Amino acid sequence: MANSSDTSAAAKTPKENDLVHASSSSSFSGHYNPRDDVILMLETITARETKVLLFGIRLTVFISTVALILLTYFKEAKPDNYFLKHRGLVMLNLAAGAVCLVILLYCCATQAHGFYGVWRLKRHWPRRRAYLATLSTLELCFQTLNITFFVTANAYVAAHGCTWFTTPVRWLSFAQWSCWNTLFLILLITASNTTPWLDRQGKPRGRSDAILADAPVTVHFPKLMLW
């Protein structure tokens, strides 16, 4: 979710875009026409917004670490069937999952609003930006599905008692782990997209700064074996 790019930044005024253009040398593409091209929020994020984002990531990591320590403690200190007999973990999963689902749905709405703004203003999608926006949108969609399956499974267990090993929960778990596999694949593709795209002689393909984001999507097909 943190990696998702908001296309609503494309609706900035020409004056704002000119200011952005002056400091865009480190952007994903490096060049754009501020009057016609789509500009991603990733390229216009301020120092303050970056600090807030990093603080949110660190806070999430801290909370997750504390939760992992507590779960490990209860697993080792309590009987093996402790989590099966008590509903505390299920209710905690439901609460945390519901919060994440609301946040993700808000991000989906923001992303859709950005795409609508691009369509309404008839902005041009440079290839690299389109590729990055597509990957981030896929990541957002699969994460939303992932959390939806997670919340649904826990809601089913909460409503029907000790049903961890019933058919609905098993299928929901299968769907959730399929989403995780897809998310890991998207992250792998995103990370590798910034590596140079070279021919057999070690020369850039097509342009001097060619990267895998410029290559056909088929170059990533071997990664499907990891899925």
List, for residues 70-126, the tens digit of each pLDDT value. 888 888 887 777 777 777 788 888 999 999 999 999 999 999 999 999 999 888 888
Q: Give how far Cα 138 sits from Cα of 5, 104, 114, Å.
A: 11, 13, 15
Confidence (pLDDT) at 18: 38
- Asked if pLDDT for residue 16 goes beyond 80, the answer is no
Q: Is residue 203 part of a domain?
A: no
- Asked if pLDDT for residue 13 goes beyond 50, the answer is no
Q: Is residue 97 part of a domain?
A: yes
Q: Is residue 59 part of a domain?
A: yes
Banded pLDDT at 162 (limits 50, 70, 90): confident
Q: In this structure, which amino acid lies at residue 124?
A: H
Q: Is residue 212 part of a domain?
A: no
Question: The domain containing residue 46 runs over which residues?
Answer: 7-192
Q: Is residue 165 part of a domain?
A: yes
Identify the bridge partners of residue 204 per DSSP, sorted by sequence position: 198
Residues in the chain: 227
- Helix (H), strand (E) counts: the chain: 7, 0
Q: Is residue 120 part of a domain?
A: yes
Total number of domains constituting the chain: 1
b/e string for 131-148 if b means 16 or more Cβ within 10 A? bbbebbbbbbebbbbbbb
Degrees (nearest 5) of the Cα angle 186, 227, 198?
60
pLDDT digits (tens, 9 = 90+) for 182-227: 999 999 998 888 888 888 888 888 778 888 888 888 888 888 888 7
Confidence (pLDDT) at 55: 96
- Asked if pLDDT for residue 163 goes beyond 60, the answer is yes
* Mean pLDDT to the nearest integer, 122-141: 90
Report the C-alpha gap between 155 and 168 in whole angstroms.
11
Q: Is residue 216 part of a domain?
A: no
Residue bearing the bigger pLDDT, 150 or 165: 150
Confidence (pLDDT) at 31: 59
Q: Is residue 213 part of a domain?
A: no
